């Protein structure tokens, strides 16, 4: 019973193993970035950037169909362009960066859907919007593994600078000129991981595996290192159980992974030891006493 429920699907079916490896790669690389996005109060920026890559990926699809290299290059180009353009608009106009990103987010989503719809079928549109985590081939798995490796190496090398720039950017600017390069490298990693997530989970769900585990981890700890470890753990658990529920109940795999992360998030909202509802309720009573 235990074998058939929890182990058998991944032993017997290669597509389940591939999906698990791909989802775990996204969780391991994306969750730490989500932690820093949460701490930098840029959570919605991640969502906006996830949609910003859609027109580039759609143009790649328009040129070469469902081609991994074409859609990846297009998505990267669009993501970097929107990130730089949003920052430039915030500097040159009265709009703040979040407002300019919101504008790009809406335009990008609409434009990407129109491009894909003009060339392909509803199946292709669903593939772009919601991904196909159960149909990952060798090339896509290699891409996800490469992105995860690059992300972890860069985070390991620049962890102190990124943490300092997140917690006290003024101090980092006063002692070195690493603030702006650190910000650019961080945004580049976010775009890179969103493009990888796009191939597995689609543009609408790619940011979920990055942000939901990070938001949950924030409710369990205020320490960056612990938050990162907790977020990765939640991402891995959500990937595993999301795929299991998808297999046993014939549900879409990508949305189930995000829903599992959502379940953990609601549990964290109630029971989290660093800001959950119960924790705050008892803390308030203690102060009243």
Question: Which CATH number characterizes residue 147's domain?
Answer: 1.10.3470.10
Report d(CA 246, CA 158) in Å as an integer.
37
Residue 284 has pLDDT above 60, yes or no: no
Does position 286 have pLDDT exceeding 70, yes or no? no
Q: Tell whether 269 is covered by a domain.
A: no
- pLDDT tens-place string over residues 184-239: 899 899 999 999 999 999 888 999 999 999 999 999 999 999 999 999 999 999 99
Instruction: Report yes or no on 102 lying in a domain.
Output: yes
| Residue 145 domain-assigned (yes or no) | yes
- Quote the pLDDT of residue 110: 87
In-domain check, residue 228: no
CB 104 within 8 A of CB 49: no
- Give the range among 59-68, 165-174, 254-263 with minimum mean pLDDT: 165-174
Separation CA 64–CA 38 (nearest Å) = 36
**pLDDT band at residue 82 under the 50/70/90 scheme:** confident
Given this model, what pLDDT does residue 170 score?
74
Percent of the chain, pLDDT > 90? 52
Per-residue model confidence as pLDDT tens digits over 249-277: 999 999 999 999 999 999 999 999 998 99
Residue 285 above 60 pLDDT? no
Domain count for the chain: 1
pTM comes to 0.91
Classify residue 106: in a domain, yes or no.
yes
Q: Is residue 92 part of a domain?
A: yes
- What pLDDT is attached to residue 2? 87
Give domain status of residue 26, yes or no.
Answer: yes
229 in a structural domain: no
> Which residues form the domain of 67?
2-204
């Amino acid at each position: 019973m235990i074998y058939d429920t929890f182990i058998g699907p991944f032993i017997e079916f290669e597509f389940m193993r591939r999906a698990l490896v791909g989802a775990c790669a996204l969780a391991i690389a994306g969750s730490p970035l989500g932690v820093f996005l949460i701490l930098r109060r840029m959570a919605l920026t991640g969502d906006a950037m996830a949609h910003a890559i859609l027109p580039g990926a759609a143009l790649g699809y328009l040129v070469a169909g469902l081609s991994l290299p074409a859609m990846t290059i297009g998505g990267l180009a669009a993501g970097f362009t929107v990130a730089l353009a949003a920052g430039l608009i915030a500097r040159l106009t009265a709009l703040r960066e979040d407002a300019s990103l919101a504008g790009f987010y809406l335009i990008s989503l609409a434009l990407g859907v129109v491009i894909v719809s003009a060339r392909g079928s509803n199946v292709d549109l669903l593939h772009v919007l919601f991904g196909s985590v159960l149909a990952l081939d060798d090339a896509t798995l290699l891409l996800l593994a490469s992105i995860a490796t690059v992300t972890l190496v860069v985070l390991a090398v620049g962890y102190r600078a990124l943490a300092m720039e997140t917690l006290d950017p003024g101090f980092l600017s006063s002692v070195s000129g690493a603030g702006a390069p650190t910000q650019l490298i961080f945004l580049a990693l976010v775009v890179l991981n969103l493009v990888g997530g796009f191939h597995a989970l689609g543009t609408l769900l790619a940011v979920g595996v990055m942000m939901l585990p990070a938001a949950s981890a924030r409710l369990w700890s205020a320490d960056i290192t612990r938050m990162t470890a907790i977020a990765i753990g939640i991402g891995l658990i959500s990937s595993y159980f999301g795929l299991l529920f998808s297999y046993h109940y014939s549900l879409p795999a990508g949305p189930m992974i995000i829903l599992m992360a959502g379940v953990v998030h609601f549990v964290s909202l109630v029971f989290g030891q660093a800001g959950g509802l119960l924790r705050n309720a008892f803390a308030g009573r203690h102060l009243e006493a």
